Amino acid sequence: MPTFSVRAHKDTRSGFGAGLLALGEANNEVVALCADLTGSLKMDAFAQKFPDRFFQCGVAEANMMGVAAGLTIGGKIPFTGTFANFSTGRVYDQIRQSIAYTGKNVKICASHAGLTLGEDGATHQILEDIGLMRMLPGMTVVVPADHDQTRQATLAIAEIDGPVYLRFGRPKWPVFIPEDLPFTIGKAQTLVQGKDVSIFACGHLVWQALQAAEMLAQKGVHAEVINMHTIKPLDVEAVLGSVGRTGCAVSCEEHNRYGGLGDSIAQVLALHAPRPQEFVAVNDTFGESGTPDQLLIKYGLAPSDIVSAAERAIRRKG
Amino acid sequence: MLMSETAPVKAQDTPIDELARICGQVRRDIVRMTHGAQSGHPGGSLGCTEFMVALYFRILQHDPAQWDMDGRGQDLFFLSNGHISPVWYSVLARSGYFPIKELATFRKLDSRLQGHPTTHEGLPGVRMASGSLGQGLSVAIGAALAKRLNGDDRLVYSLHGDGELQEGQIWEAAMFAAARKVENLIATVDWNGRQIDGDVDDVMPLGDLKAKWASFGWDVLEMNGNDLADVLRTMGNAHGRTGKGRPVVVLMHTEMGQGVDFMMGTHKWHGVAPNDEQAARALAQLPETLGDY
């Protein structure tokens, strides 16, 4: 299988900050709002360079979502920034009524998603946000895999006319997606081709999936690894094409096993081409304090867990 | 400036006796719409009739023929207490945003006149969904900020229920608007003292409402929302107070159910439609002035 060179270790939230700054320079209609987490979201550079287009909202996320919705009336393209928990669960009804139902052009940008937020613990480690956002009609849901892809995604979602949820994280993480690989919202990226099992992953788990594929290769198993950076709209052709060749699937996400990428893929398979699928996800529980690596191991999201899931899926092909 | 540029949108100059005639017809519309749907919220709609008629036929600088979502160069209005949709739909239709006969579709299947207002069905005049309470002030603030960024000197108006002020988001928004000096915004509150479960003072008292808004940094005015002359005078005063570094709020004393005797003095007509006999009794008190839909 191809090897992926790690160019650097960088946090995906910094990719968002870099993308937002570039957007600010390129497009006068782009505005940004933050709820007292400007440093954590890496929005400082935008705030300093474009003070008239940056709105500090204080610790008041509900109002932030409504103000963002209002800013679209008059042609602005608002990017909201706060932690994933406060970007979704805390303000679900504001998003539902004032942004999604009305089709407002708001980009909800969410950092510190999932277990890899780490030491702050379960109050902040939302594992349900992909499901919450994916259930809203008209919402695009994007979960990029590394720093550079998060920057690309930030630029790309500005081109979509409608609400978007962009999910990224806190820890420094390998930057590995090949720079020449095209990035298009809604188009999955096949990183490794294989014939035995299709491993679909999003966010930080794409790197884990590549590690797993290497471990499987050493055992003579050829895994296909696909970066499902867009959860909605899901690249149905990519799912069916890959599983059509391999005959089984593994989904990997830093999210509850309910509602996220795994469910999205399962629905496609159930409707069009039922095949065995295994789920690498948090098993319907809350997280806890710990380092990102400790948590990924304890909650079953390590490369070895993906290897086991792939072997189970292959056995179930019968 | 090019000569071919569109002339600035202006407010209508409807005389006060004509406003009163329109109010009578709008009240008939409210009764007939809620009766026709056998659901909806007549009480607050009747109580806000003078304000909404004055707004659309005299105060707002708008042009229904040039309606679009962004509303550049026009004043914008946001109804935050979306359940009083009957009065809004009536003034929107009667001021030319959509055909008056469409009022007959209120709350019925395949209608643009949903129970609570929405942009989803493309109804002209509506820029935001409302119904889940407490969200409209934030949206109005955002629209006002967009006008500021666009160099658009027109104003943003919003209307809120008094019961709605129990929502925490309202006070997040109030704090934000004062801190960010949103000075092109006039919020209004339908202070009828009643909500769906009873009197506001029994359900969840608002305390010293005037002092609350003032302490949040707003310029506060009061008026009798059922007195057209007071509405015109006070809203003119409010207009004069914009652009001075503070958001403006007008606390509007109204009577829920105003204009239909048996709907006044109680919270019971907040969200109950009149039956055939009640509708007939109500309409007998409200002579047709502009023609029923």
Rounded distance, CA A25 to CA A21, Å?
6
Tell me if A67 and B142 make a contact (CB, 8 A cut-off).
yes
Q: A189-316: which CATH number, 3.30.70.60, 3.30.710.10, 1.10.3720.10, 3.40.50.920?
A: 3.40.50.920
pLDDT at A36 over 70: yes
Amino acid at A27: N
- CB-CB contact of A172 with A11 (8 Å): yes
- The residues pairing with A249 across neighbouring beta strands, listed in sequence order, are A198, A277
pLDDT category of residue A318 using cuts at 50, 70 and 90: confident
Instruction: Report the pLDDT averaged over residues B7-20.
Output: 90
Q: From chain A, pick out residues whose CB is under 8 angstroms from the CB of B187.
A: none
Q: How many CA atoms lie within 13 A of B104 on its CB side?
A: 6
- What ipTM did this prediction achieve? 0.96
Question: How far does A240 lie from chain B, in Å, by closest CA?
Answer: 33
Yes or no, beta carbons of A70 and B72 under 8 Å apart: no
pLDDT of residue B1: 39
Q: Where are the domains of chain A?
A: 8-175, 189-316
pTM: 0.97
Say what percent of chain B tops pLDDT 70. Answer: 98
Q: How far is B220 from chain A (nearest CA, A)?
A: 21
Radius of gyration of chain B (CA): 18
CA-based nearest residue in chain A for residue B73: A74
Residue in B with minimal Cα distance to A67: B142
Q: State what percent of residues in chain A have pLDDT above 90.
A: 99
Dump pLDDT digits (tens) for B192-248: 999 999 999 999 999 999 999 999 999 999 999 999 999 999 999 999 999 999 999
Give the pLDDT confidence score for residue A174 in this predicted structure: 98
Domains with residue ranges and CATH for chain B = 16-284 (3.40.50.970)
Name chain A contacts of B147, Cβ cutoff 8 Å. 74
pLDDT at A33: 98
Model confidence pLDDT, tens digit, residues B41-70: 999 999 999 999 999 999 999 999 999 999
Share of chain A above pLDDT 70, in %: 100
Cα separation, A225 vs A210, in Å, equals 7
Look over chain B and give the mean of its residue pLDDT values, rounded to a whole number: 96
Test A73 with B150 for CB contact under 8 angstroms: no
User: CA separation (Å) from A190 to A194, A199, A234, A270?
Assistant: 10, 10, 14, 22
Query: Which residue is it, tokens 């707003």?
Result: B218
Q: Do domains A8-175 and A189-316 have the same CATH topology?
A: yes
User: Kind of pairing, strands A77-83 and A54-56?
Assistant: unpaired
Establish if B70 touches chain A: CB-CB under 8 angstroms: yes
Tally the residues of chain B: 293
* Cβ(B225)–Cβ(B48) below 8 Å: yes
Q: Do A102 and B152 touch (CB under 8 A)?
A: no
**Mean pLDDT across chain A, nearest whole number?**
98
Residue B5's pLDDT band, with cuts at 50, 70 and 90, is low
The answer on pLDDT for B4 being more than 50 is: no
In the predicted model, what is the mean pLDDT of residues B244-253? 98
Q: Quick one: tokens of B92?
A: 């929107």
Contacts for A266-275: CB closer than 8 Å, 24+ residues apart: A268/A234, A268/A236, A268/A239, A268/A240, A269/A239, A269/A240, A269/A243, A272/A236, A272/A240, A273/A240, A273/A243, A273/A244, A275/A243, A275/A247, A275/A248, A275/A249, A275/A317
Tally of CB atoms within 10 A around B216? 19
CATH number for the segment(s) A8-175: 3.40.50.970
